Amino acid sequence: MNRLSLSGYAALCGLWSVLACAEAVAPPVPTGPSVKVPIYFLMDANTGQVLAEALADDRASPASLTKIMAVYVIAHELGQGNIKLEDPVTISENAWRMGGSQMFIEVGKQVSVKDLLMGIIVQSGNDASVALAEHVSGTEEAFTDLMNQHAARLGLRNSHFLDASGLDQPEHYSTARDLGILSAALIRDFPEVYSWFKVHEFTFNGIKQPNRNRLLYRDPSVDGIKTGFTDDAGYCLAASALRDGMRLVSVVMKAESEKQRTAATQALLSFGFRSYETHRVYEAHKPLAQARIWKGQAKAADLGLVEDLYVTVPRNRYKDLKAAMDINPRLMAPLPKGGQGGVLKVTLGDQQLLERPLVALKDVAEAPIYSRWIDELWMLVQ
């Protein structure tokens, strides 16, 4: 295995900031934030690293945080071309009769998908959620099947959805961790739709309603995501903020008041930005190593990463990062672009932070038969 400091590769390739490889006295691990809610979760959206949590895997009523999954499904359907923003949606009596928060649509009227989606995101309209669920899948029940399918695909292990709006039901539940992972996925997979979550107010049918996420008005780095409240769920808030290229996602559940959920979320985000830093250490599709290729028209192949590699570390620990590459010494042609040729591991002290496959950046075709025979002999010798 080849071991090196991240700074070594930075100097070699000229792609990254120089990082010192010398050992240093490690600053203390950040102490947890002071948060007065029973359930919370804080993660870096780019790296997936968890920065703080409490009871993050306890199942709880998600209230209108359910709508994050509803929006994810709708955004996916838009991306697949199955629906369009300008499509008219005829409002059913079932959607019109929905209680709780509303955007005040009228039965029998036609409303565009875009307006209904804004009604979900900004006004948290239960009526809009049901109307779009019926438009996408025919019935709200069929739509929740899609919600649960996406939940399984995204690895949400403790979530089960029975409606599109978040009404309290015994078997309708999620967790702070699952909702954090879902929120990061929405931001990553559908950035255009996510950008609507920072809208402060939306007017429909002559009624102007404000976004209930108070942090949008207090903290310019916050650009989403969703509030929720029911008697069973208490006050909930999923939020995200972006500062200097570092994006955090937080979730608080079971707060006792709107003020408490806002204060707890602000405390989590402040703790994360104050105590940690996130860096892109390697770019996707850039050569990080060369691997010997046997029986190929080319004798070597450049290996790199499929995606940009981000790492989150406690502040002032970036210089202590190290990387190690394990390259397969017996790579055979044909080797397709994207074929794995090794593994990159990043560590901080004696803790391995992450592991990523190193893949071929170009196809390597098989050599003529006589060249393959020669390589076969060399392999036997070695």
What are the catalytic residues? 64, 67, 124
d(CA 251, CA 41): 5
Report DSSP letters for 194-225, one per residue: HGGGG--EEEETTEEEE-S-THHHH-TTEEEE
Beta-strand (E) ranges in 18-123?
A: 39-44, 50-54, 88-90, 110-112
Beta-strand (E) ranges in the chain?
A: 2-5, 39-44, 50-54, 88-90, 110-112, 201-204, 207-210, 222-230, 234-243, 246-255, 276-282, 289-294, 300-304, 309-314, 321-327, 331-332, 340-348, 351-360
Closest CA to 121 of 202, 13, 233, 15: 202
Report DSSP letters for 44-71, one per residue: ETTT--EEEEESTTS-B--GGGHHHHHH
Helix (H, G, I), strand (E, B) or coil at 116: helix
Tokens of 154: 């995204």
d(CA 348, CA 211): 41
Amino acid at 40: Y
Q: Which residues pair with 230 in a beta bridge?
A: 234
Residue with tokens 């071929």: 360
Q: Is the peptide bond before 225 cis (omega within 30 degrees of 0)?
A: yes
- % helix / strand / coil in the chain, to the nearest 5? 30, 30, 35
Helix (H, G, I), strand (E, B) or coil at 130: helix
H or E stretch at 178: helix 176-189
